[in-house]
């Protein structure tokens, strides 16, 4: 047992501090240090210079002697209490223990009768909602006497170190945005097992909920909500923060108050990264995404403007501008296809508003408006115009956008004539389908070998909807034309769905190329 | 092991182009310690997270205004003062309006940071940093090793008597206490902008 290495070895001492010695080396060094005062000194010096030793010593001494005033109720856990009872006694610092798992495990037992559990200082009362990126809980902070909404990151995202990092970073950035149209973040806990953030609890519904309930909204509401969202975006953009997930579900409408709040900054970013760029899969609906996001290119501030345009489109029409059966189908539309003219779906929307939204939905980011601030200012003046047209002119920039819609179309007069027109639709459908068949769009899907002849070529042969009525030779009766146009629109919508179903295979094949 | 430039450059980076990443790194390094600091300065546990947020926000808002005056530890002085002021503000509000604390309007606080840093605040900051570092690394060591360090370094007992008391060898005491010391130093240096020993602001 007694190897007798009398020699001193500095490297061994260094390794000892780094705790990389083998058991044998450790035994040897321990024995060597017993007697070698030189090595004792060298080891101490390697650990820290003399001043470091003395400063740590004096800090710890003053700590135990009580000369440093401690915060309320704090007891240092450093002092070995009972040296005899040391083994097995746990002295792990309680303060930095991570909150337990979420979902079920995360919550500690409730202390209040009307609470389902506790999260640090928050009594959780109910689950407000949940989605792909996390769950939202309603809670109450007793000491602060306030209701809060607690947003907890989904476990699958929390497992990704990158998602957690971004969550922390973005949440901190969000906390720095103070604006009436941005939901404030009170607290961020990014170190816990499942990161969560605390926001004020506001009695509100999401724009998504309202759209689900009411369909399209009155023009004034479209402008009002669009305006406030643009203001919130401008505040975020001023901090250099791109929201990247502007959609109706992330826009909150406060009840009984004319206030709109943009929410979900940090999680949106985290989710985007873990899902889209991380694995090549897309979670959730990319319906409001900008083309550059859909392509996986880098986003810019104007990407949010595109999404704002999509949201305003949805408010006007009750549906998002780009729809398909699959996420990839939607992405493809976002990237390649023009949206259907708003006027086809809601004739009450004025030309200038349609032009305005079209401008936001420009495929090239440079073709959109310059910044959220400009958009907000223009919308503000549009609101004034709609409320009092005689006193407030439309902004010239907006006026100039009127009449740019691709299909001019009289107001929707004749919904009642549908029945009269319907028999014709069957005929038209045959014509349209025939045209599609001839163009070869359907072929890839029915190709028994499953191949895609011609690569990208067949995909965009059919422009949905609006082009067809213009080519109708008979315009002798405007009423007629209008009714046909309407029916063709809905027919085209059905075709959209049909094509998407058929194109699923094509999309799958295209994934690798895109 | 000691890399004073690392911390320093982190702070400089906060003002640079790669702000977002730098900010994340910064928060990752400082947030745990700031939590310790503000609770020890008397902020109740349940408010600690809020107050830490306010400190971080204040720093985020004002890092552009901070400039290295060339003296050692200037960033530390600044941090110490910001944290102290925000804690004081918190306390004052708590006293005036118990239970009504909340909101994010402390951002402007930094403008009230006095030009001359409060020496006591800096000393307290450094003290807390050491205590925090010791607590952080405490769990890495078995109780016997910790006791060996504590009894010989802090309580000043002789190595021989402690060896007898703990029934371990003198050699293992030398090893344990140097290891613990090195870990504390390393932990401190992770957060400190300058290593302890080069403290130059007298």
Q: Which of A37, A68, A99 is the last residue of a domain?
A: A68
Residues A136 and A166 placed together within one structural domain of the fold = yes
Structural domain for A458, as ranges: 415-513
Residues A393 and A261 placed together within one structural domain of the fold = yes
Sort out which chain B residues have CB atoms less than 8 A from A146's CB and list them: 102
Distance CA A150, CA A192 (A): 13
Residue in chain B lying closest to A54 (CA): B153
Residue in chain B lying closest to A70 (CA): B40
Residues A345 and A494 placed together within one structural domain of the fold = no
pLDDT in tens, A304-325: 999 999 999 999 999 999 887 6
CA distance to partner chain A, nearest, from residue B129 (Å): 9
Inter-chain contact B104–A60, Cβ cutoff 8 Å? no
Residues A53 and A152 placed together within one structural domain of the fold = no
Residues A141 and A235 placed together within one structural domain of the fold = no
* Residue A90: inside a domain: no
Residue in chain B lying closest to A59 (CA): B127
Residues A296 and A434 placed together within one structural domain of the fold = no
Question: What pLDDT shows up at residue A271?
Answer: 42
Residues A392 and A439 placed together within one structural domain of the fold = no
Distance CA A83, CA B67 (A): 48
Inter-chain contact A29–B42, Cβ cutoff 8 Å? no
Which stretch of A66-80, A87-101, A475-489, B184-198 has the lowest confidence by average pLDDT?
A: A87-101
Which stretch of A127-131, A165-169, A274-278, B94-98 has the lowest confidence by average pLDDT?
A: A274-278
Confidence check on the interface: ipTM exceeds 0.85, yes or no: no
* Residue A246: inside a domain: yes
Inter-chain contact A121–B46, Cβ cutoff 8 Å? yes
Q: Does A498 contact B at CB distance below 8 Å?
A: no
Inter-chain contact B56–A71, Cβ cutoff 8 Å? no
Does residue A504 have a pLDDT over 90? no
Residue in chain B lying closest to A93 (CA): B135
Number of separate domains in chain A = 4
Residues A153 and A219 placed together within one structural domain of the fold = no
Sort out which chain B residues have CB atoms less than 8 A from A60's CB and list them: 130-131, 134, 150, 153-154
Selected for mutation to probe chain A from B38, B39, B53, B167 (highest A CB count within 10 Å) is B53
* Residue A148: inside a domain: yes
Residues A304 and A227 placed together within one structural domain of the fold = yes
Candidates B21, B130, B139; nearest CB to A92: B139
Number of Cβ pairs < 8 A linking chain A and chain B: 196
CB A168 within 8 A of CB A190: yes
Residues A193 and A212 placed together within one structural domain of the fold = no
DSSP line for B122-142: HHHHHHHHHHHHHHHHHTTS-
Could you say which residues from 267 to 306 on chain A have a Cβ atom under 8 Å away from some Cβ of chain B? none
Sort out which chain A residues have CB atoms less than 8 A from B14's CB and list them: none
* Residue A132: inside a domain: yes
Question: What pLDDT shows up at residue A68?
Answer: 56
Q: Does A34 contact B at CB distance below 8 Å?
A: yes
May I ask the CATH architecture of the domain B4-198? Answer: Orthogonal Bundle (1.10)
Residue A258 tokens read as 């004319």
Does residue A280 have a pLDDT over 80? no
Q: Which whole-number Å values give the CA distances from B160 to A29, A40, A81, B156, in the listed order?
A: 17, 14, 20, 12
* Residue A243: inside a domain: yes
Q: Which pairs count as long-range contacts for A65-70, CB under 8 Å and 24+ apart, including other chains?
A: A68/B124, A68/B127, A70/B40
Exposed / middle / buried, residue A18 (Cβ in 10 Å: 0-12, 13-18, 19+):
exposed
Residues A241 and A357 placed together within one structural domain of the fold = yes
Catalytic residues of A: 254
CB A141 within 8 A of CB A121: yes
| DSSP class of A256 | T
Candidates A16, A52, A86; nearest CB to B185: A52
pLDDT in tens, A404-434: 544 434 444 333 334 444 444 444 444 444 4
């Amino acid at each position: 047992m007694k190897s007798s290495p009398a020699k001193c070895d500095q490297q061994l001492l260094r390794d000892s501090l780094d705790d990389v010695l083998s058991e044998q080396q450790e035994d040897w060094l321990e024995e060597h240090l017993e007697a070698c005062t030189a090595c004792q000194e060298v080891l101490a010096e390697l650990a820290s210079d003399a001043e470091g030793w003395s400063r740590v010593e004096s800090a710890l001494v003053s700590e135990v002697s009580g000369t440093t005033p401690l915060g309320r109720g704090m007891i240092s856990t450093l002092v070995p209490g009972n040296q005899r009872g040391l083994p097995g006694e746990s002295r792990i610092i309680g303060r930095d223990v991570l909150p337990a798992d979420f979902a079920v495990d995360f919550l500690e037992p409730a202390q209040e009768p009307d609470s389902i559990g506790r999260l640090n200082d928050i009594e959780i009362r109910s689950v407000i909602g949940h989605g792909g990126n996390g769950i939202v809980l309603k809670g109450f902070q007793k000491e602060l006497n306030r209701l809060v909404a607690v947003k907890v990151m989904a476990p699958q995202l929390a497992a990704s170190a990158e998602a957690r990092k971004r969550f922390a970073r973005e949440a901190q950035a969000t906390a720095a945005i103070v604006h009436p149209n941005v939901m404030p973040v009170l607290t961020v806990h990014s170190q816990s097992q499942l990161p969560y953030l605390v926001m004020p609890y506001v009695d509100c519904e999401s724009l998504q909920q309202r759209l689900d309930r009411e369909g399209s909204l009155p023009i004034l509401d479209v402008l009002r909500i669009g305006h406030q969202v643009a203001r919130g975006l401008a505040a975020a953009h001023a901090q250099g923060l791109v929201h990247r997930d502007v959609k109706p579900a992330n826009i909150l409408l406060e009840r009984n108050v004319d206030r709109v709040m943009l929410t979900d900054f940090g999680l949106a970013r985290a989710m985007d990264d873990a899902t889209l760029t991380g694995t090549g899969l897309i979670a959730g609906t990319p319906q409001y995404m900008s083309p550059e996001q859909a392509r996986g290119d880098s986003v810019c501030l104007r990407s949010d403007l595109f999404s704002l345009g999509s949201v305003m489109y949805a408010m006007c029409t009750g549906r998002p501008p780009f729809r398909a059966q699959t996420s990839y189908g939607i992405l493809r539309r976002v990237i390649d296809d023009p949206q259907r003219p708003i006027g086809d779906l809601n004739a009450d929307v004025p030309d200038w508003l349609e032009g305005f939204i079209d401008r936001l939905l420009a495929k090239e980011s440079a073709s959109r408006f310059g910044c959220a601030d400009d958009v907000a200012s223009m919308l503000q003046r549009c609101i004034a115009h709609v409320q009092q047209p005689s006193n407030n002119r439309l902004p010239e920039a907006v006026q100039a956008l009127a009449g740019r819609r691709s299909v001019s179309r009289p107001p929707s007069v004749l919904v009642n004539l549908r029945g009269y027109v319907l028999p014709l639709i069957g005929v038209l459908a045959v014509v349209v389908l025939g045209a599609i068949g001839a163009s070869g769009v359907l072929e890839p899907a029915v190709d028994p070998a499953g191949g895609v002849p011609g690569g990208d070529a067949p995909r965009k042969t059919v422009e949905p909807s609006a082009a067809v009525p213009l080519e109708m030779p008979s315009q002798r009766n405007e009423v007629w034309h209008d009714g046909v146009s309407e029916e063709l629109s809905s027919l085209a919508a059905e075709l959209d769905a049909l094509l998407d179903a058929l194109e699923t295979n094509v999309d799958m094949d295209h994934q690798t190329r895109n | 092991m000691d890399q004073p430039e690392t911390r320093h450059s982190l702070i400089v980076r906060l003002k640079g182009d790669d702000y977002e990443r730098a900010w994340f790194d910064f928060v990752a390094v400082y947030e745990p310690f700031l939590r310790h600091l503000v609770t020890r300065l008397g902020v109740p546990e349940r408010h600690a997270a809020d107050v830490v947020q306010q400190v971080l926000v204040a720093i985020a808002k004002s890092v552009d205004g901070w400039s290295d005056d060339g003296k050692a530890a200037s960033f530390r002085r600044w941090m110490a003062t910001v944290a102290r002021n925000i804690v004081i503000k918190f306390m004052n509000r708590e006293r005036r309006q118990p239970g009504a604390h909340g909101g994010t309007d402390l951002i402007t606080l930094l403008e009230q940071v006095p030009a001359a840093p409060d020496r006591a605040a800096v000393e307290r900051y450094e003290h807390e940093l050491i205590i925090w570092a010791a607590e952080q690394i405490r769990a890495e060591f078995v109780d016997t090793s910790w006791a060996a360090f504590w009894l010989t370094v802090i309580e000043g007992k002789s190595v021989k008597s402690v060896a007898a008391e703990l029934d371990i060898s003198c050699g293992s005491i030398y090893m344990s206490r140097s290891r613990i010391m090195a870990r504390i130093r390393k932990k401190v240096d992770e957060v400190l902008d300058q290593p302890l020993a080069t403290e130059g602001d007298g």
